[in-house]
Structure 1
């Protein structure tokens, strides 16, 4: 999937976490959580040369390249998500859950692609959630539709929670 798809998934994840904590969007905590979601969502693609995250965090990307880490393996795996969870455990709970769940959304969404994800890396088997003929190809029309659904959900979700004060 493309970075913009993962960013929207991270944003929607952040909105769900904010809702869980009954934290309004339009506060500095809400804004920080939304930003964390937008950054953590596409972060796993740091292992893909030329990706936005690889360009932003170039030294880490180079390190992964030198270690010959293939795309959708280590950085998309449960072991990496658990290591990241341990590394970020000192964060306040709101930001911690936002970061971990938005990061995990990346692997989940990539499992809709026909290439799948090495979720149990170093075991090399790639997991996908859809049969190959229904899989969403990166950059395809079906990914555009999927992204549109994510965008609509991200826009609608705060208004669905309006009665519980999620916006303010």
Structure 2
């Protein structure tokens, strides 16, 4: 999937955490959480040479290339998410939850792709949620539909939390 789709998934993950933690959407805390979600949702692609994250985090990307980490393996694995849960532990609770939820949204979305994800890395074998003939190709119309659905959900979540006080 493309960076903009992963960013939208990270946004939705951040908003879900905001609702769960009962944080007002019109606050600096929420603004920081949403920004973190959009960025963390794209972070797993640091293993893909040429991606925005690989360019921004070049030293990490170069190290992953040097040790021959393939795309959708280590950085898309449950093991990596578990390791990041320890690395991110010093973050304030809200941002910790947003970071992990947004990062985890990345391999979850990639499970819809026909290439799948090596979710249980270092165990070989990629997993995908859809049969190959129904899987979503990167940059396809199907991915665009998913991205627009995620963006619609990202609008619905904060709007659904507004209390008008008309009925009590």
- With normalisation by structure 1, the TM-score equals 0.96
- Alignment gaps of 5+ in structure 1: none
Deviation at 1:79, TM superposition (A): 0.4
2:144 corresponds to: 144
Correspondence 1:78 to 2:78: yes
Secondary structure of residue in 2 paired with 1:150: helix
Find the counterpart in structure 2 of residue 113 from structure 1.
Answer: 113
CA drift of 1:157 comes to 1.1
1:19 aligns to what? 19
User: How many residue pairs are counted as aligned between the two chains?
Assistant: 165
Q: Tell me the TM-score normalised to structure 2 length.
A: 0.96
Distance of 1:4 and 1:97 partners within structure 2: 21
Structure whose CA Rg is larger: 2
Runs of 4+ in structure 1 deviating by more than 6 angstroms, as ranges, are none
Per the TM alignment, residue 147 of structure 1 is displaced from its structure 2 partner at its CA by 0.6
Aligned partners of 1:90 and 1:163: how far apart in 2? Answer: 34
Deviations 1:54-78 (A, max 9, x none): 0111111000000100000000000
- Which residue does the alignment assign to 1:55? 55
Match of 1:156 in 2: 156
Aligned position for 2:65: 65
